[in-house]
């Protein structure tokens, strides 16, 4: 039981150290060899991740630099506001008293 709790505590401590190392990252020339090995290991891992993303971003930058953006026109066009107000398209429905019911219902009543 003690072994399991020690392992859990050391695992938790390792996670905390790794998180601390990521939050307080410093470049490799500023690190001291006297720091905790877990902290140094996590910072090395972050170095590799940053190197990988730098290579990917540089490739994207090379591709995007192939295209030259167009210069903005000096004469830009600004449209005037619309003066006409369009009428809404509403179906016109007759009032209930003025509606004519089908003749079949009148015929049924007369019979």
Output 60 or 48, whichever has higher pLDDT: 48
Q: Give the residue extent of every domain in the chain.
A: 2-64
Q: How far apart are CA 62 and CA 79, in angstroms?
A: 38
* pLDDT tens track for 8-32: 668 899 999 999 999 999 998 999 9
- pLDDT tier for residue 65 given thresholds of 50, 70 and 90: low
d(CA 72, CA 103): 69
Which distant-in-sequence residues (6+ apart) come within 8 Å of 42 by Cβ? 17, 18, 21, 22
| pTM of model > 0.85 | no
């Amino acid at each position: 039981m003690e072994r399991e709790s020690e392992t859990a505590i050391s695992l938790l401590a390792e996670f905390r150290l790794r998180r601390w190392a990521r939050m307080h990252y410093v470049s490799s020339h500023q690190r001291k060899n006297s720091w905790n090995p877990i902290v140094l290991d996590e910072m090395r891992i972050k170095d590799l991740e940053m190197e990988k993303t730098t290579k990917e971003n540089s490739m994207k930058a090379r591709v995007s630099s192939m295209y030259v953006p167009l210069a903005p026109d000096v004469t830009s066009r600004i449209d005037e506001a619309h003066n006409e107000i369009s009428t809404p398209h509403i179906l016109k429905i007759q009032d209930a008293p003025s509606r004519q019911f089908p003749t079949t219902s009148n015929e049924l009543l007369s019979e």
